[in-house]
Amino acid sequence: MFKPVSERIKQLAEKYPEKIQELERVFDKKTNVYIDYANVRGWSQRLGWRVDIKRLKQFFNSFDNINQIKFYYGTIKGKPESEMTISNAQKLGYIVKTKPVKIMKLSIDISSIASDSIDILKNFIRPTLLSKLNIEIVKSLNNELRTLNQQGILYLEDSKANFDVEIGRDMFNDYDVECPDNFMLWSGDSDFEDPIRQLLKDKIKVILCATSKRIATELNMLRSEGLIILDVQKIKEFICYKKDITQSKGDPLRGPQALDN
């Protein structure tokens, strides 16, 4: 059953009753939610808006069949934004799983390689694409790297804190211990194919929440086995930052009744 926990959610529910009805059918029984937050943050560039974890939690709290909401995100020690995200998620009541983010230095120093070499490029471009590039493109890309080297840039930093293993393990552990009826995963990564396939095989309802252009082919193929895919755009008004609602469309509750809570 849906019981809005804030006045804003109540008003949005009255404006978009069909969306609430659809989700009531999705959350028809005890449901666990797993949020791969790094993946979710990555959607914002394509979507043009960001998920507000406070509004997201309020939205979930409005459905009485939501059992647990687990939040997975890496911590960059000494970076206030990263540490604040984890702290805020904990205060909001998410079950937070975190670990240190690994910062890797990837060399782009081409001083010792030939202009047509792929030795550096292969660290950044997948082999299937690299094999299709002609020699002139390779030379051009290496020339761009040379320009960066001349500016004193000899390496790039890349961060890594993958939670695919932890999420998959938690889903199976929760299935064995808590026996939720439904599982909702916020991610579109192909690494989740095996745990989702197994849950579907066991006649468990699995809902994948993602943006339509960021769902791996392997997951899309599981629709035929019962996977439900919810496009996050459908619930934008309920979960995005208010300031991310474009000026052209305006706040769906704009005017005197517009609320910030």
Rounded to 5 degrees, φ, ψ at 2 are -100, 120
CATH hierarchy code of domain 7-101+162-244: 3.40.50.1010
Spell out the per-residue pLDDT of the chain, length 261, in tens: 899 999 999 999 999 999 999 999 999 999 999 999 999 998 888 888 999 999 999 999 999 999 999 999 999 887 888 899 999 999 999 999 999 988 888 999 999 999 999 999 998 998 999 999 999 999 999 999 999 999 999 999 877 778 999 999 999 999 999 899 999 999 999 999 999 999 999 999 999 999 987 799 999 999 999 999 999 999 999 999 988 875 445 566 654 334 344
Q: Where in the chain is the domain with CATH 3.40.50.1010?
A: 7-101+162-244
Rounded to 5 degrees, φ, ψ at 179 are 55, 50
Residues 104, 157: contact at Cβ < 8 Å? yes
Beta strands in the chain (DSSP E): 31-36, 66-72, 95-97, 102-107, 155-160, 182-186, 205-210, 228-231
pLDDT of residue 16: 96
